[in-house]
Amino acid sequence: MHKPNASQEELAALFRQELVTGVGRSVRHESAAKHVTGEAVYIDDRLEFPNQLHVYALLSERAHARILRIDTAPCYSVPGVALVITSADVPGQLDIGAVFPGDPLLADGKVEYVGQPVLAVAADSLENARRAAQAAIVEYEDLEPVLDVEEALRRQHFVLDSHTHKRGDAAAALAGAPHRLAGTLRIGGQEHFYLETQVSSVLPAEDGGMLVYCSTQNPSEVQKLVAEVLGVPMNRVTVDMRRMGGGFGGKETQAAGPACLCAVIARLTGRPTKMRLPRQEDMLMTGKRHPFLVDYEVGFDDDGRLRGIRMDLAGNCGYSPDLSGAIVDRAMFHADNAYYLGDALIHGHRCKTNTASNTAYRGFGGPQGMLAIEEIMDAIARHLGRDPLEVRRRNYYGKTERNVTHYHQTVEHNLLEEMTAELEASCDYAGRRAAIRAFNARSPVLKKGLALTPVKFGISFTSSFLNQAGALVHIYTDGSIHLNHGGTEMGQGLNTKVAQIVAEVFQVDVSRIRISAANTDKVPNTSPTAASSGADLNGKAAKNAAQTIKERLVEFAARHWHLCPEDVQFRNGQLRLRDRFVSFEELIQAAYVGQVSLSSTGFYRTPKIYYDREQARGRPFYYYAYGVACSEVLVDTLTGEYRLLRADILHDVGASLNPAIDIGQIEGGFVQGMGWLTCEELVWSDQGRLLTANPASYKIPTIADVPADLRVRLVENRKNPEDTVFHSKAVGEPPFMLGISVWCALKDAVASLADYRAQPAIDAPATPERVLWGVEQMKRLKQDTGRVKPAGSGAGRTEIGGVHPLCESGNHE
Sequence-ordered alpha helix ranges (H) in 24-166: 32-37, 126-135, 149-154
Near other proteins in 180-209, by CB under 8 A: 192-197
Q: Does 791 bind other proteins (CB under 8 A)?
A: no
CB of 433 to other proteins, least distance (A): 18
Q: Which of positions 685-704 make contact with other proteins (CB under 8 A)? A: 691-692, 694-697, 699-704
Grouping H, G, I as helix, E, B as strand and the rest as coil, residue 293 is strand
Binding window for other proteins (CB under 8 A); candidates: 61-69, 227-235, 341-349, 762-770: 762-770
Secondary structure of 186-203 in the HEC alphabet? Answer: EECCECCCCCCCCEEEEE
Say which amino acid occupies 436.
Answer: I
* Out of 636, 722, 755, 808, the residue judged to bind other proteins by CB under 8 A: 636
Subset of residues 47 to 66 that bind other proteins, contact rule: CB under 8 A: 47
* 733 flagged as catalytic: yes
Distances (CA, A) of 95 to 106, 198, 633: 9, 19, 47
Number of H helices, E strands in the chain: 20, 30
Q: Which of residues 486-545 bind other proteins (CB under 8 A)?
A: 490-493
578 lies in the binding site for other proteins (CB under 8 A): no
- Under the criterion CB under 8 A, does residue 98 sit at the interface with other proteins? no
Among positions 416-475, residues that touch other proteins (CB under 8 A) are 443-446
Return d(Cα 807, Cα 749) in angstroms, integer: 21
Closest contact distance (angstroms) between CB of 673 and other proteins is 10
- Residue 705 interacts with other proteins (CB under 8 A)? yes
Cross-strand partners of 312: 295, 347
Residue 728 DSSP one-character state: B
Alpha helices in 246-323 (DSSP H): 256-269, 279-285
Cα(261)–Cα(248) distance, integer angstroms: 23
155 sits near other proteins (criterion: CB under 8 A) = no
Nearer to other proteins, 397 or 684 (CB): 684
Upstream peptide bond of 765 is cis (omega within 30 degrees of 0): yes
365: Cα within 13 Å, side-chain hemisphere: 29
Q: Which residues contact 478 (CB under 8 A, 6 or more apart)?
A: 585, 588
Q: Are 677 and 671 a contacting pair, CB within 8 Å?
A: no
| Residue 381 in the binding site for other proteins (CB under 8 A) | no
Say how far apart CA 126 and CA 178 lie, in whole Å. 65
Shortest spacing between CB 646 and other proteins, in angstroms:
12
Q: Identify the CA nearest to 312 among candidates 364, 348, 352, 366.
A: 348
Q: Nearest distance from residue 612's CB to other proteins, in Å?
A: 37
Please count the residues of the chain.
813
Chosen residue from 418, 716, 723, 769 binding other proteins by CB under 8 A: 769
Instruction: Closer to other proteins by CB, 316 or 409: give it.
Output: 316
- Binder to other proteins among 54, 62, 165, 243 (CB under 8 A)? 243
Of 210 and 650, nearer to other proteins (C-beta) is 650
Query: Is 210 or 450 the residue whose CB approaches other proteins more closely?
Result: 450
State which residue, 344 or 647, has the beta carbon closest to other proteins.
647
Of the pair 85, 494, the CB lying nearest other proteins is at 494
Q: Do residues 477 and 586 touch, judged by C-beta distance below 8 A?
A: no
3-state secondary structure of 298: strand
Count of residues that bind other proteins according to CB under 8 A: 91
Distance in Å, CB of 237 to other proteins, minimum: 25
Which CB, 46 or 399, lies closer to other proteins? Answer: 46
Sheet holding 568-571, edge to edge: 568-571, 574-577, 580-583
The contact pattern for other proteins, residues 258-297, with x = CB under 8 A and - = no contact, is: --------------------xxx-----------------
Which helix (H) or strand (E) element contains residue 294?
strand 292-300
Residue 543's CB is within 10 A of a number of other CB atoms, namely 23
According to CB under 8 A, which one of 17, 26, 477, 511 is a site residue for other proteins? Answer: 26
Q: How far apart are CA 379 and CA 357, in angstroms?
A: 32
C-alpha distance from residue 458 to each of 95, 329, 373, 374, 724 (Å): 32, 12, 16, 17, 14
Q: What is the DSSP string of 677-694?
A: HTT----B-TTS-BS--S
| CB-CB contact of 372 with 335 (8 Å) | yes
Which helix H or strand E contains 468, and what residues bound it? strand 468-475
The answer to whether 268 and 83 have CB atoms below 8 angstroms apart is yes
CB of 55 to other proteins, least distance (A): 16
- Taking CB under 8 A as the criterion, the residue among 20, 32, 425, 430 binding other proteins is 32
x/- letters, 318..357, toward other proteins (CB under 8 A): ----------------------------------------
Tell me how far, at minimum, the Cβ of 743 lies from other proteins, in Å: 15
What's the min distance (Å) between Cβ of 97 and other proteins? Answer: 27
Binding segment toward other proteins, per CB under 8 A, in 10-18, 525-533, 556-564, 770-778: 770-778
With respect to other proteins, which residue has the nearer C-beta, 671 or 725? 671
Q: State the sign of the Cα–Cα–Cα–Cα dihedral 359, 360, 366, 367.
A: negative
Contact between 602 and other proteins per CB under 8 A: no
At position 168, the amino acid (one-letter code) is G
360 lines the binding site for other proteins (CB under 8 A): no
| CB closer to other proteins out of 401 and 686 | 686
Q: Is 668 in the site for other proteins (CB under 8 A)?
A: yes
Residue 661's φ and ψ, nearest 5 degrees, are: -70, -40
Using the minimum distance from each CB to other proteins, give the nearer residue, 316 or 767: 767
Comparing CB distances to other proteins, the nearer of 457 and 622 is 457
Taking contact as CB under 8 A, which single stretch among the options 3-11, 225-233, 319-327, 485-493 is the one that binds other proteins?
485-493
Q: How far apart are CA 392 and CA 400, in angstroms?
A: 18
* Selected catalytic residue, list 297, 585, 681, 733: 733
Which of the stretches 124-132, 293-301, 333-341, 624-632 binds other proteins when contact is defined by CB under 8 A?
Answer: 124-132
Q: How far is the CB of 537 from other proteins (least distance, A)?
A: 20
77 belongs to the binding site for other proteins (CB under 8 A):
no
From 136-144, 382-390, 515-523, 635-643, give the range in contact with other proteins by CB under 8 A. 635-643
User: Is residue 506 within a helix (H) or strand (E), and if so which, with residue range?
Assistant: helix 494-506
Least Å distance, CB 707 to other proteins, is 9
The SS3 assignment for 72 reads coil
| Minimum separation from the CB atom of position 280 to other proteins (A) | 7
Positions marked active-site: 733
